[in-house]
Amino acid sequence: MRPIFITLWLVVVVLACRAPDTSKVNADVGFAVSSLAFARTLVGQERALSVTVENRGRAPALLRFGAQGPFFVAPGEVEVAGGSTAQLTVTFRPSEAGETSGLLEAAGVEGIAPVALTGEGMREEACAPSSLCVSAAFDAESASCVETPVTDGTACVSLNSCIPQGQCFHGECKGEVDRCDDNNRCTTDACAPGEGCVHFDASAECPAASDACHVPVCDSLQGCQWVEAADGIPCGPSDCNRADICMAGVCKSVVVPEGAKCGTESPCQAKGICHLAKCEQPAATKLSEAWHYEPPSGFTLQFQGVADAAGNLYAVECKGFGDDSFTQCQALSFAANGALRFKSNVPLQISSDQPRVDALQLLVGNVFVFSPTPTELFAFSTVDGQLLWRWPILHDSFVALRSHILQSLAAGFDGSLWVVTNSNFSEKPLPPLPTEMRLHVFNAIDGVERWNRTELNRIGSTVVLDASNRGYLTVAGTGADASVSRVLEALGSTGQVRWSRPVPREARAVFNGRVELANGQTLASADGADAWSAVGAVEMASQFLSTPLMTSGGIFEPLFTVEDCADDSGGTFVPAYVRLAVAFRANPAGILQGGTEVFSAQLVVSYAALPLTSPSLTDGNVAVLSGQTQLPIAVPVAPSPWLRGIDKAGQQTFACELPTDASADATTYFGVAALLNERWATVVRRECSFCDEPLPNRLVVFNAPGLRPAQHGWTAAFGNASRDNRER
């Protein structure tokens, strides 16, 4: 009897410990939903949603559950009685920003369809209130900063307010506006909404003295004064017999001694020596080449005039441009003497993206940032050429058809990198999608994003920065907002809108409290008020303004005019003439009031459509620019290129002929140039009709004795040799 009892007891125990037989009830067990979508969730936080498991059969079912991270499910195992349900909790806990997906599955059981899980992780953005009377907080649901008015009656006294004793009412600061007078006769005072009192140095605006032997100075209490010029300063004509010079504030005529220096020195002609009352000066020569670089066969050089304070040059060369896409790119840097500092490989994403012809390049401190294609941004160390970070402009996170292309770059004095992108559609979507402008601000050294802003139905153009890291961005309406014309938005260093106003053209420079628009109109950077307009501001399609050269005393305005040239049959042909005139507008009445045109004159005429390099500004307020000389159309030879200097009185200070390549049909100097300390760098294009292969463009650096870039101001294209869209 005993052995039989033990056997039966074991059978009962084994049967009792077996899991419910689910093989017969799989078709009756399943999830109540097929998908689960989580709302946007901040990185490091979590959201939880419930999922119902149904057992429509009569037998119980033991189920085990699993989910792919960053999704988690609890409990991991549950027994669902026949005809009942059970609740699961699925948690979304993102560890990084971006969209992600996964599956909720029942393990070990066949026939149960999984639940599709989707979610988007977001990093919390810093929210700066747009005014003193609102508070701002980041809202993950809308992925934006939400502002709420503070309680009425709250004091809005702040160093950033134009109202020192104001109170908040309905989100606005009310009270008497501060005049911001600092009791300094040498500054122009203004109050910038959201920023506070600003003071611009006006000492350079003092008018010239009535005689050449006194110079203007500014005293903080008395204002403009005039003091004696240094002895020996020329105050009239001179030759090798007598010279008019200043002595103790008086212009005197003195005898010129034998062996004295004479004549006008230029980068291509040294001063002469007085001998027997005559100036013996060596003849002018062509500008001499210091060194040049020619890219390897099959490579295209992308040099945008980028240089640092030590005279090091930066460029990019890419292979495969003829195939409408780059297959290989390299970042280059040369020392001032031409030595190669580094040549680093650029890890391109091989794609169908079109290469950039107008490559975006700039320096931010010790970082060289560039974009060889419209959809990728790279940052390399200027010290050793190492890749620091890259930023691919991928497709929109919600709409696969919409991607973004880089529009412009700018660099702040605080190491920030400002990037403007505009949406681009790979094909026309249905229904139509809004265009999108984005402004991203990164740490240039590591690529960490500080903040960003997005505007739908907008496109953005060049962003320029002032000395306080404040941006000036022009946007235009498209699509649903096509009725919105250009608007200039003045942004604070953290993205808040300080002021905005309609403008006819985009902003292209800002310096000394003035924002210069592309039609010559000038605004006050503090509040956007009209400062002055260029005489006959250009709006015609055949005329366009280049980058201005802004000094403490005024603005050089380069004006290019394209003119078609008729042949004998009355038609037109290309290349057309490109005439260049330069005007200088001074500001004797104060930085933010009125502009007086000092001169406007045609200086050089070019023979081809794009041979003019962008001008640079020297420390003597001389505009340096190059172009071809004018020749009749019937002359079958290429014109000679020249480098010229024009002072702010409209006088030509020098004219140096540039060398040409005897092995080519034509040598053209074009594009962006860089003025270094006694060096001038540009790109040379050579045309050769009898060569087996096209001659590659060269980077050529010339000796330019006596020429140095101005120490302060908007001294070159895109601000300065760093091309960072801010002042030097």
Q: The domain that contains 41 carries what CATH number?
A: 2.60.40.10
Q: What tokens were used for 667?
A: 């040598």
Would the CA dihedral through 686, 690, 696, 701 be positive or negative? negative
What would the DSSP string read from start to end of 318-365?
Answer: EE-GGGTS-SEEEEEEE-TTS-EEEEEEE----SSPPPPSS-EEEEET
User: What is the per-residue pLDDT for 472?
Assistant: 96
User: What is the per-residue pLDDT for 351?
Assistant: 53
48 contacts: CB under 8 Å, gap ≥ 6? 89, 90, 91, 92
pTM reported for the whole predicted model: 0.71
- Which stretches of the chain drop beneath a pLDDT of 70? 1-27, 108-109, 158-161, 192-195, 204-205, 321-324, 350-358, 394-403, 424-433, 480, 533-546, 553, 558-613, 627-640, 665-666, 670-671
Asked whether residue 582 falls in the same domain as residue 558, the answer is: yes
User: What is the per-residue pLDDT for 353?
Assistant: 54
DSSP 27: G
User: What is the per-residue pLDDT for 574?
Assistant: 42
Q: Which of 17, 70, 81, 21 is nearest to 46 (CA)?
A: 70
Asked whether residue 682 falls in the same domain as residue 655, the answer is: yes
Decide if 157 is inside a domain.
no
Helix (H, G, I), strand (E, B) or coil at 481: helix
Asked whether residue 553 falls in the same domain as residue 685, the answer is: yes
Determine the Cα–Cα distance for residues 212 and 250; give it in Å rounded to an integer: 9
Decide if 208 is inside a domain.
no
Decide if 618 is inside a domain.
yes
Asked whether residue 399 falls in the same domain as residue 491, the answer is: yes
Report in angstroms the alpha-carbon separations of 515 from 547, 636, 714, 723: 12, 44, 11, 17
90 contacts: CB under 8 Å, gap ≥ 6? 36, 48, 49, 50, 51, 67, 71, 72, 73, 104, 115, 117
Determine the Cα–Cα distance for residues 410 and 361; give it in Å rounded to an integer: 10
Domain that residue 703 falls in: 539-728
Q: Which of 535, 575, 577 is nearest to 555 (CA)?
A: 535
Task: Please answer whether residues 681 and 305 qualify as being in contact, where contact means their C-beta atoms are separated by less than 8 angstroms.
Answer: yes
User: What is the per-residue pLDDT for 594?
Assistant: 53
Asked whether residue 489 falls in the same domain as residue 617, the answer is: no
Longest dimension (CA), the chain: 148
Determine the Cα–Cα distance for residues 204 and 166; give it in Å rounded to an integer: 35
Helix (H, G, I), strand (E, B) or coil at 90: strand
Task: Please answer whether residues 324 and 331 qualify as being in contact, where contact means their C-beta atoms are separated by less than 8 angstroms.
Answer: no
Q: What share of the chain is helix, strand, coil (3-state, %, to 5)?
A: 5, 50, 45
- Which of 330, 364, 391 is the C-terminal boundary of a domain? 391
Asked whether residue 313 falls in the same domain as residue 404, the answer is: no
Decide if 110 is inside a domain.
yes
Asked whether residue 344 falls in the same domain as residue 385, the answer is: yes
Report phi then psi at 600, rounded to 5.
-150, 115
Decide if 543 is inside a domain.
yes
Decide if 695 is inside a domain.
yes
Place of tokens 């026939």: 111
Determine the Cα–Cα distance for residues 331 and 313; give it in Å rounded to an integer: 11
Asked whether residue 314 falls in the same domain as residue 379, the answer is: yes
> Can the peptide bond before residue 60 be classed as cis, meaning omega within 30 degrees of 0?
no
Both ends of the chain: CA-CA distance in Å?
106
Place of tokens 């999108």: 436
Asked whether residue 449 falls in the same domain as residue 308, the answer is: no
Determine the Cα–Cα distance for residues 464 and 469; give it in Å rounded to an integer: 9
Count structural domains, the chain. Answer: 4
User: What is the per-residue pLDDT for 14?
Assistant: 36
Question: How many CA atoms does the CB half-sphere of 97 hold within 13 Å?
Answer: 9
Task: Please answer whether residues 318 and 301 qualify as being in contact, where contact means their C-beta atoms are separated by less than 8 angstroms.
Answer: no
Asked whether residue 466 falls in the same domain as residue 609, the answer is: no
Q: What percent of the chain has pLDDT over 90?
A: 33
Q: Report CA dihedral (495, 499, 500, 503) to the nearest 10 degrees.
A: -120
Q: Which of 412, 420, 463, 449 is nearest to 722 (CA)?
A: 412
Asked whether residue 456 falls in the same domain as residue 426, the answer is: yes
Asked whether residue 575 falls in the same domain as residue 622, the answer is: yes
Decide if 639 is inside a domain.
yes
